[in-house]
């Protein structure tokens, strides 16, 4: 078995916002909520998403809620991982970009 691919992102997101959007991001609601995030096991693949603590990031006069989100891909091909990551990013994209 190969080692999982782990990606950590700082996201302008709260825990509540994460849980509102995660089913859309994954294309399924067949995940299990854990104390730190979610686990999705599907088609022999395993995705674990862990949420860090919420904190405030200050940019000039604006404060934004952020947290670190760590995605662990187990058993994903590079293509499957890229597709899942693109869907995740698109589901949580904010603003005009």
Quote the pLDDT of residue 1: 59
Q: What are the residue ranges spanned by the domains of the chain?
A: 5-91
Q: What is the pLDDT of residues 73-85, one digit of tens each?
A: 999 999 999 999 9
Residue 24 CA, chain-centre distance (Å), reads: 11
Structure-token pair, residue 9:
């992102």
What pTM was computed for the model? 0.90
Structure-token pair, residue 83:
């597709």
pLDDT lower than 50: segments of the chain: none
Q: Could you give the count of Cα atoms lying within 13 Å of 34 in the half-sphere of its Cβ?
A: 12
The CATH fold assigned to 5-91 is Ribosomal Protein S8; Chain: A, domain 1 (3.30.1370)
Quote the pLDDT of residue 19: 95
Q: Which residues of 44-55 are buried (b: 16+ CB within 10 A; e: fewer)?
A: eeebbbbbbeee
Quote the pLDDT of residue 40: 97
Quote the pLDDT of residue 2: 74
Quote the pLDDT of residue 83: 94
Quote the pLDDT of residue 94: 76
C-beta of residue 85 within 8 angstroms of C-beta of residue 71? yes
């Amino acid at each position: 078995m190969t080692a999982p691919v782990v990606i950590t992102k700082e996201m302008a997101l709260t825990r509540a916002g994460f849980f509102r959007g995660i089913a859309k991001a994954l294309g399924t609601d067949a995940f299990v909520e854990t104390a730190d995030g979610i686990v999705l096991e599907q088609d022999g693949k395993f995705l674990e998403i862990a949420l860090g603590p919420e904190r405030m990031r200050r940019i000039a006069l604006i404060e934004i809620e952020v947290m670190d989100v760590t995605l662990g891909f187990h058993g994903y091909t590079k293509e499957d991982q890229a597709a899942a990551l693109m869907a995740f990013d698109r589901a949580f994209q904010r603003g005009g970009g």
